[in-house]
Amino acid sequence: MPANSNFQDAIRQAQSSALVGPNVVRYALPYVGGGMVLTAFGTLGGLSLINSNSGLFMPLFWVALIAELILFFMAQGAASKGENSTALPLLAGFSLLTGFTLSGLVSLALGVAGIGSIGIAAFATGITFVLASTFGSRMSDSVGQALTQVVTLGLFGLLIAMVVQLIGGFFAPGMFHFGGFELMIAGFGTVLFTGMAFVDFYTMPRTYRDDQYLAGALGMYLTYINLFIFILRLIIALQGGGRRD
């Protein structure tokens, strides 16, 4: 009887740690890197437009944001089905537009904290990737599943806080867009997406098949882009948020 119980425990453990796509992370990483490069080009294009014709930037920002959302859902749908030839150009366009819409925040960071803030955010994001790639895939099922649940709950909390900030900003922008509230959101978002970076390396092989590597790449790309964004927001908030009293 004890032997039978041990055998059943072993089966449950094997099932819980079963890998759906053992090579999906390796296949996805080049596309994550490529997306980051395209995002950098999109950001440089946005910064160039801000410097040369700032009045044109905001109308194009809203057009790019809408197009970005459309491309995201189209790319996600194709990638999740393993239709990689269809998903790849959609992801490339999405990455470029993400960089363009990100350029306003980068411009603010440059004005508030200088070019060093971009270097710090990029360096911190890179260090997080190195640590996550080293330790994330080696997490035990108990640690990986617990961290996944914590990060998922934290993501819901962050979304609620950002909705509150968006609505509150219409009535009291000084309270919700600057100071303690923004610092809290930026700090929490930084911690949350740092944790998500580790979760990605644990969950991807257990979620996506090897032929769904672009779907995994999209999720990982979003993790690191958001980590970069929240680190920048944290730096800006620590510098006073760019507020001019």
Instruction: Flag whether pLDDT at 241 surpasses 70.
Output: no
Give the model's pLDDT for residue 180.
85
pLDDT in tens, 59-109: 999 999 999 999 999 999 999 999 999 999 999 999 999 999 999 999 999
Mean per-residue pLDDT for 198-218?
95
What integer pLDDT is reported at residue 71 of this predicted model? 97
pLDDT classification of 15: cutoffs 50, 70, 90: very low
Q: Which has the minimum average pLDDT: 181-185, 194-198, 213-217? A: 181-185
DSSP collapsed to 3 states, the chain: CHHHHHHHHHHHHHHHCCCCCCCHHHHHHHHHHHHHHHHHHHHHHHHHHHHHCHHHHHHHHHHHHHHHHHHHHHHHHHHHCCCHHHHHHHHHHHHHHHHHHHHHHHHHHHHHHCHHHHHHHHHHHHHHHHHHHHHHHHCCHHHHHHHHHHHHHHHHHHHHHHHHHHHHHHHCHHHHCCHHHHHHHHHHHHHHHHHHHHHHHHHHHHHCCHHHHHHHHHHHHHHHHHHHHHHHHHHHHHCCCCCCC
pLDDT digits (tens, 9 = 90+) for 153-162: 999 999 999 9
Asked if residue 244 has pLDDT above 60, the reply is: no
- The pLDDT value given to residue 18: 74
pLDDT computed for residue 17 by the predictor: 56
How confident is residue 219, by pLDDT bands cut at 50, 70 and 90?
very high
Is residue 34 predicted with pLDDT exceeding 70?
yes
pTM, to two decimals: 0.88
Stretch 206-211: mean pLDDT: 93
For residues 198-205, give the mean pLDDT: 94
Q: What is the mean pLDDT of the chain?
A: 89
pLDDT over 90 at 119, yes or no = yes
Is the pLDDT assigned to residue 13 strictly greater than 70? no
Q: What confidence tier does 243 reach under pLDDT thresholds 50, 70, 90?
A: low
- Residue 1 pLDDT greater than 50, yes or no: no
The answer to which of 42-51, 54-63, 91-100, 173-182 has the lowest mean pLDDT is 173-182
Query: Average pLDDT, stretch 194-221?
Result: 95
